[in-house]
Amino acid sequence: MARRIDGKAIAASLRAALSVRVAGLAYRPGLAVILVGKDPASSVYVRSKDRAAREVGIAAHSLNLPVDTSEAALLAEIAALNADPAIDGILVQLPLPGQIRAQAVIAAIHPTKDVDGFHPLNVARLANGEVGLVPCTPQGVMKLLAATGITLEGARAVVLGRSAIVGRPMAALLLAANATVTIAHSRTSDLPGECRRADILVAAMGRAEMVRGGWIAPGATVIDVGINRLADGRLVGDVAFAEAALVAGAITPVPGGVGPMTIACLLENTVVAAEARRENENREN
């Protein structure tokens, strides 16, 4: 039976360490979270980010803009936050309404305040193996792997999914940690075969319980990023957990695996951004 990787507990200890780190600062890091419209799922995410930030001592500023906000108005809000010395991190909750281009908005966030790590400069830094702000979900996966003591160097890692927010940055981080990385997607010809070669399998497709027990190599580490709501209301991952747990060496549950790590890493990025900005200012003065 696989070892269950407890993301909730690992995230709680990360948040506790962040509280201590924030308490030792001479200032309070500030995080601005912008929500356009009232999408129920996005509202839940924004509220939990807000609460988690306050709990570690970060000053959270939530901005809820009307659903018909123009792109120009949102860009003006971002320009004001870029210039605001009390704000260290800016996060725009995705998806955005159709009249607003997400890429234009992401590119407008100052790269030093881009706590989601989606700005083209931070994307390029990650791709080049340089230091920058890293997207929260894949960063959370790396922390889960580290906390579980999984060896990455030389391991065969397979990432299912190639989105800009999960799959691609996930693959870049595993590569930077010296794993041998395969990225699979909807046009991959033999998905089960690719999965069976994995020492570390990261599933981020958004396909309920698609990865079956028979796709997993005995002893492999399985990280399930997927969050899927079934017709009966149950929340499941991309991996058929019960089957997979019989074969895998270690596995994350859904919920309680990757999800809590994403928010913890957002808080960490905010603290990192705050510290880096103050250091730069001190150097310039």
Count the site residues for ligand NDP by CB under 6 A: 24
Structure tokens at 83: 């210039």
Given the residues 88, 114, 116, 199, select the one marked as catalytic. Answer: 116
* Rg of the chain taking only CA atoms, in angstroms: 19
For the chain, what is the largest distance between any 2 Cα atoms, rounded to a whole number of angstroms?
60
- 185 forms part of the interface with ligand NDP (CB under 6 A): yes
By C-beta, is 175 or 215 nearer to ligand NDP? 215
Q: Count Cβ neighbours within 10 Å for each residue of 152-188 and write b for 16 or more, e otherwise.
A: beebbbbbbbbbebbbbbbbbbbbbbebebbbbeeeb
Q: What is the dihedral of CA 269, 272, 274, 275, to 10 degrees?
A: 180
> Whole-number minimum distance, CB 92 to ligand NDP, in Å?
15
Please confirm whether the linkage preceding 169 is cis (ω < 30° from 0).
no
116 is a catalytic site residue: yes
Q: Can you tell me which of 187, 189, 231, 282 binds ligand NDP, judged by CB under 6 A?
A: 187
- 93 forms part of the interface with ligand NDP (CB under 6 A): no
- 283 forms part of the interface with ligand NDP (CB under 6 A): no
C-alpha span between 39 and 43 (Å, rounded): 6
Structure tokens at 158: 């397979």
Residues 233-262, interacting with ligand NDP (CB under 6 A):
258-259, 262
Q: Can you tell me which of 110, 156, 196, 207 binds ligand NDP, judged by CB under 6 A?
A: 207
Which residues bind to ligand NDP, rule: CB under 6 A?
137, 160-163, 165-167, 185-188, 191, 204-207, 225-228, 258-259, 262
Residues belonging to the active site: 49, 93, 116
